[in-house]
């Protein structure tokens, strides 16, 4: 007998690289190329350091209220956490405690099976159709819950509200989590927030790491029925009462309050995405229709994904490559500034036009 015999073993998620060299064109972890809003900067640099001697507000009142006002829901319908991995992990632990398998797509965010394994939750991966869409009818089976990102990652593909509604209607008896990390890039009224009043089993998860340029501050949130949020808070308070630090609470609140900056940044990224897509298609790339701040792009045969990934890396351009079966012909390319994407296109031309 040895202490190691009691250790819980898992296959950990492997996050994208975080190189420290600032000259790298970093398009591998779907960060926003624009800085956080000026209000967040002001809050940060004017923050009263003395106040850090006290614990943060365990109820995160300021930020939750700002989010509730922004989305037109009540304070007690909002849960916040340290990045969407924290919020989603807590949701898994809280809501997926049944014996039946939890359902999610294959391909999707690769953290889902990791949490399931970690918390010993049975799961079943359901293949996407040939165009990488979710088939709602596939989710018409007894389950312990359902989770999927919308738009999906790493494909970038958006499912319309009627399809999400179908999945909800077929799963009234279990929790359904819609992971809307990228929804702000999917256009007006793309979110299923409007369905919340009809479904007390629906949880919507959002993050400040993409559209709000605050990946470094670790902020995300969930919106659901008061009863569902209550259950999540009970679990959260059972592992850590003070997860959100005081500086992030203040900076996050400032971000929610500056809607014009936020909308402008999102629009710039969507415009760049459309332009980049057109140009890359001209070079022979096949690009899935993206509703996110990245594209899932299949390079021309001349230099396929794995090879292009390595060549780009040598040039200081970082993409994300997944060796999973159906993902393997593609690269996931984050949308940076116009200047960055022009450099990427110039590199592509070098590879494919010579």
- Which positions from 46 through 65 interact with a second copy, judged by CB under 8 A? 46-47, 49-58
The answer to whether 88 and 179 have CB atoms below 8 angstroms apart is: yes
Q: How far is CA 274 from CA 37, 277, 294, 297, 350, in A?
A: 24, 5, 11, 13, 21
Candidate ranges 9-17, 270-278, 286-294, 340-348; the one touching a second copy (CB under 8 A)? 9-17
3-state helix, strand, coil in the chain (%, to 5): 45, 15, 45
Q: Which is nearer to a second copy, 36 or 151 (CB)?
A: 36
Task: Name 125's bridge partners.
Answer: 104
Q: From the CB of 329, what's the least distance to a second copy, in Å?
A: 26
Q: From the CB of 99, what's the least distance to a second copy, in Å?
A: 9
Q: From the CB of 267, what's the least distance to a second copy, in Å?
A: 17
Phi, psi of 82 (to 5 degrees): -85, 75
Q: From the CB of 44, what's the least distance to a second copy, in Å?
A: 5
Tokens representing residue 6 in the block: 């009691």
Number of amino acids touching a second copy (CB under 8 A): 88
Residue 86 binds a second copy (CB under 8 A): yes
Footprint on residues 175-194 left by a second copy (CB under 8 A): 175
Tokens representing residue 184 in the block: 């702000």
Residue 36 binds a second copy (CB under 8 A): yes
**Contacts of the segment 298-302: beta carbons below 8 A, 24+ positions apart:** 298/329, 298/330, 298/331, 299/331, 299/348, 299/352, 300/352, 302/351, 302/352
- CA–CA gap between residue 305 and residue 299 (Å, rounded): 6
From candidates 144, 149, 151, 154, binder to a second copy by CB under 8 A: 144
Q: Which is nearer to a second copy, 237 or 286 (CB)?
A: 237
Contact map string, positions 278 to 317, toward a second copy, x by CB under 8 A: ----------------------------------------
Footprint on residues 88-127 left by a second copy (CB under 8 A): 89, 93-98, 114-115, 117-118
Residue 45 binds a second copy (CB under 8 A): yes
Is it true that the peptide bond before 313 is cis, omega within 30 degrees of 0?
no
- CA–CA gap between residue 81 and residue 91 (Å, rounded): 11
The answer to whether 330 and 40 have CB atoms below 8 angstroms apart is: no
From candidates 237, 259, 286, 310, binder to a second copy by CB under 8 A: 237
CB atoms near residue 109 (< 10 Å): 21
Residue 72 binds a second copy (CB under 8 A): no
Footprint on residues 216-235 left by a second copy (CB under 8 A): 216-218, 227-228, 231, 234-235
From candidates 27, 82, 107, 270, binder to a second copy by CB under 8 A: 82
Q: Which residue has the tokens 């614990």?
A: 55
Q: From the CB of 251, what's the least distance to a second copy, in Å?
A: 7
């Amino acid at each position: 007998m040895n202490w190691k015999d009691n250790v819980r073993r898992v296959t950990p998620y492997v996050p994208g690289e975080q190189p420290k060299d600032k000259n790298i064109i970093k398009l591998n972890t779907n960060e926003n190329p624009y800085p956080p809003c000026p209000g967040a900067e002001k809050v940060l640099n004017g923050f009263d350091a003395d106040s850090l001697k006290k614990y943060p507000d365990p109820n995160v009142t300021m930020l939750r209220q700002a989010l509730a006002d922004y989305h037109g829901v009540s304070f007690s319908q909002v849960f916040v956490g340290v990045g969407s991995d924290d919020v989603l992990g807590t949701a898994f632990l809280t809501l997926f405690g049944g014996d039946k398998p939890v359902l999610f797509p294959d391909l999707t965010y690769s953290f889902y099976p990791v949490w399931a394994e970690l918390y010993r939750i049975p799961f079943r991966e359901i293949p996407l159709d040939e165009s990488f869409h979710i088939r709602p009818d596939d989710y018409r089976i007894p389950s312990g819950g359902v989770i999927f990102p919308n738009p999906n990652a790493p494909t970038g593909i958006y499912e319309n509200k009627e399809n999400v509604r179908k999945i909800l209607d077929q799963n009234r008896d279990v929790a359904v989590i819609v992971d809307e990390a990228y929804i702000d890039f999917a256009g007006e009224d793309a979110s299923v927030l409007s369905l919340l009043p009809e479904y007390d089993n629906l949880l919507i998860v959002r993050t400040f790491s993409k559209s709000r340029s605050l990946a470094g501050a670790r902020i995300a949130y969930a919106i659901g029925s008061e009863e569902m949020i209550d259950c999540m808070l009970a679990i959260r308070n059972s592992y850590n009462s003070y997860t959100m630090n005081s500086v992030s609470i203040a900076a996050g609140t400032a971000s929610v309050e500056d809607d014009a900056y936020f909308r402008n940044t999102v629009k710039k990224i969507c415009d760049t995405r459309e332009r980049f897509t057109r140009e890359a298609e001209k070079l022979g790339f096949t690009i899935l229709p993206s509703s996110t701040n990245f594209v899932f792009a299949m390079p021309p045969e001349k230099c396929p994904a794995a090879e292009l990934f390595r060549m780009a890396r040598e040039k200081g351009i970082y993409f994300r490559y997944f060796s999973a079966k159906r993902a393997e012909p593609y690269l996931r390319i984050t949308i940076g500034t116009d200047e960055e994407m022009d450099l990427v296109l110039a590199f592509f031309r070098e590879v494919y036009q010579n």
